[in-house]
């Protein structure tokens, strides 16, 4: 056995070998199988013949890094961004866009089959974008301070901090704010840990949250200086890190200017506070809204619920056609935004619940309520069995499930089938071009409905 084509049981960390990439796995890594052993290799494309170095060996799989291309696969294209081989923000820039869409359809199919144990479910072709660049309206960037200079970028587990002088998937105003924040944070010696931005593409206005390790007396002056540098920056807020990681932080307090934006999806306008969730891709968010409303069907004379209503993205347009509508949201700021957005369109006969869906749905069951149509757009962890079981007890006939993770989608879809629902439509939507992430809209209908 030659050293570059080892037996699977003898792979060692640091070993070099030449492999052929068979497909992409969910997560965007290429999959090779030297001697039948599964290797995951980032930044590779189906059909690539590549020289790689093994970085991890487990019992059933291993990981490797790309050293060089011996022969590029048919779907490989030059990446637009010069940082594409280093930056963790994009995983698929080296793939033709139509190949990205095909891969995301396969990710969804794999989740349904492997996690949900569902066979024979048709997954429709992924709906893509005409121009899959500069689409992100929200950014989160890590700060790195060295030698008196603050830089912003991404944190990569393997390479550490990756500075971001430019990014092709973010709105141009986001990058303008990023560069201005680097200059201002350096000039005012701010203890900056993270920058969060939000842009409204329809009117060119933006918000910035300066996440700091601690309060700094120069924060108000720095915020004014930042707004002076970026005309479209409508407001600056600040937040403090709790502990040692930016994952935990205080709610943002305003320093200057606005603390909310008006976002638009098609004909609908929404007030969105700095920390409320909103779809990061405005163009595809509009398409998502259209799909959800179409799958929900006519609401005349029906009771409907939006289980994770946020600022009212789906609830506001749909409530006007329903006999009765409810929205559930555990984030107080988002729920306040939702109330304002309902009032904007005179949606007065809507009951809003503050809390978790897994708590509110059982409460409705105990009250003997029924729901004809339910929309669920949960966070990445998915809805979960407890939510779906209580929803089924509400005699829900029609469920529109929105998912941003193929694995939790597969789990939830399998649970829905076990609860007596059939999956009528599975439609992937490319909300996140150049990355492995994919949004999926599923219509599930109760058997016999």
Structure confidence by residue, pLDDT tens digits, 95-110: 999 999 999 999 999 9
What's CA 338's distance to the chain center, in Å? Answer: 20
Least confident among 78-87, 349-358, 361-370 = 78-87
Interatomic CA distance for residues 76 and 48, integer angstroms: 8
397 and 288 together in one domain: yes
Question: Residues 4-41: pLDDT tens digits?
Answer: 444 456 789 999 999 999 999 999 999 999 989 999 99
3-state class (DSSP) for residue 144: strand
What pLDDT score does 156 carry? 83
Are 189 and 302 part of one and the same domain? Answer: no
Q: Is residue 250 part of a domain?
A: yes
**Residue where one domain finishes, among candidates 197, 232, 262:** 262
Residue 286 has pLDDT above 70, yes or no: yes
Q: pTM of the entire structure?
A: 0.94
Q: Is 87 a catalytic residue?
A: no
Residue 332 domain flag: yes
| Residue 82 located in a structural domain | no
Q: Hey, how many other C-beta atoms are within 10 angstroms of the C-beta on 67?
A: 14
Whether residue 270 lies inside any domain: the answer is no
Q: Are 223 and 216 in contact (CB under 8 A)?
A: no
Q: What is the CATH number of the domain that holds 291?
A: 3.40.50.150
Domain boundary among 27, 45, 71: 71
Mean pLDDT of the chain: 95
Residues 306 and 439 grouped into a single domain: yes
Please tell me the predicted confidence (pLDDT) of residue 160.
85
Q: What pLDDT, on a 0 to 100 scale, did the predictor assign at position 7? A: 47
> What whole-number distance in Å separates Cα of residue 370 and Cα of residue 375?
14
CATH number at 148 reads: 2.40.50.1070
pLDDT of residue 9: 60
Confidence of residue 424 (pLDDT cuts 50, 70, 90): very high
Report yes or no on 44 lying in a domain. Answer: yes
In the set 167, 212, 338, 404, the catalytic residue is: 404
Structural domain ending residue among the three candidates 25, 51, 71? 71
Sheet holding 303-306, edge to edge: 350-354, 324-329, 303-306, 373-376, 398-403, 439-446, 421-429
The CATH number of the domain where 43 resides is what?
2.40.50.140
Same structural domain, 295 and 442: yes
Residue 254 near residue 233 (C-beta atoms within 8 A): no
> Considering the chain, what percentage of its residues have pLDDT values greater than 90?
91
Q: Structurally, how many domains does the chain consist of?
A: 3
Q: Are residues 286 and 434 in the same domain?
A: yes
Q: Is the pLDDT of residue 391 over 90?
A: yes
pLDDT of residue 107: 98
Q: Can you give the residue range of the structural domain that contains 48?
A: 8-71
User: CA–CA distance from 349 to each of 2, 319, 339, 438 (Å)?
Assistant: 73, 8, 11, 34
Residue 240 located in a structural domain: yes
Q: Answer yes or no: do 64 and 155 share one domain.
A: no
């Amino acid at each position: 056995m030659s050293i570059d084509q080892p037996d699977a049981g003898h792979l060692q960390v640091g070993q070099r070998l030449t492999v052929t990439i068979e497909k992409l796995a969910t997560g965007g890594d290429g999959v090779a199988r030297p001697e039948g052993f599964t290797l995951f290799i980032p930044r590779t494309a189906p059909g690539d013949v590549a020289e790689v170095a093994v970085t991890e060996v487990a019992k059933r799989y291993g990981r490797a890094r790309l050293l060089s291309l011996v022969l590029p696969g048919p779907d490989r294209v030059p990446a637009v961004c010069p940082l594409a081989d280093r930056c963790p923000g994009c995983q698929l820039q080296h793939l033709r866009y139509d190949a990205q869409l095909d891969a995301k359809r396969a990710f969804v199919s794999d989740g349904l089959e492997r996690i949900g144990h569902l066979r024979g479910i048709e997954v429709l072709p992924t709906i893509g974008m005409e121009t899959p660049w500069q689409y992100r309206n929200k950014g989160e960037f890590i700060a790195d301070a060295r030698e008196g200079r603050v830089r912003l970028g991404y944190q990569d587990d393997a390479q550490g901090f990756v500075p971001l002088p430019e990014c092709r998937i973010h709105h141009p105003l986001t990058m303008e704010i990023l560069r201005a924040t680097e200059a201002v944070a350096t000039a005012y010696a701010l203890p900056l840990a993270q920058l969060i931005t939000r842009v409204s593409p329809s009117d060119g206005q933006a918000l910035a949250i300066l996440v700091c390790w601690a309060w700094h007396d120069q924060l108000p002056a720095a915020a004014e200086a930042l707004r002076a540098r970026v005309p479209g920056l409508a407001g600056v807020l600040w937040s403090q890190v709790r502990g040692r990681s930016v994952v935990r932080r205080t709610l943002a307090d305003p320093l200057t200017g606005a603390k909310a934006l008006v976002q638009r999806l098609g004909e609908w306008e929404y007030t969105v506070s700095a920390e409320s969730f909103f779809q990061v891709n405005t163009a595809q968010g509009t398409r998502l809204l259209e799909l959800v409303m179409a799958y929900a069907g006519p609401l005349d004379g029906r009771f409907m619920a939006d289980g994770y209503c946020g600022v009212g993205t789906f609830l506001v347009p749909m409530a006007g056609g329903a006999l009765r509508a409810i929205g559930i949201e555990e984030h107080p700021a988002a729920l306040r935004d939702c109330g304002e957005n309902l009032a904007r369109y005179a949606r007065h006969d809507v009951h809003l619940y503050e809390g978790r869906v897994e708590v509110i749905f059982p409460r409705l069951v105990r009250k003997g309520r029924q729901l004809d149509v339910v929309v669920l757009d949960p966070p990445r962890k998915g809805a979960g069995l407890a939510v779906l079981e209580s929803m089924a007890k509400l005699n829900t006939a029609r469920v529109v499930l929105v998912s941003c993770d193929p694995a939790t989608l597969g789990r939830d879809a399998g649970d829905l089938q076990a609860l007596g629902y059939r999956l009528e439509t599975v439609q992937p939507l490319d909300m996140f071009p150049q990355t492995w992430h994919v949004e999926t809209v599923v219509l599930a209908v109760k058997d016999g409905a």
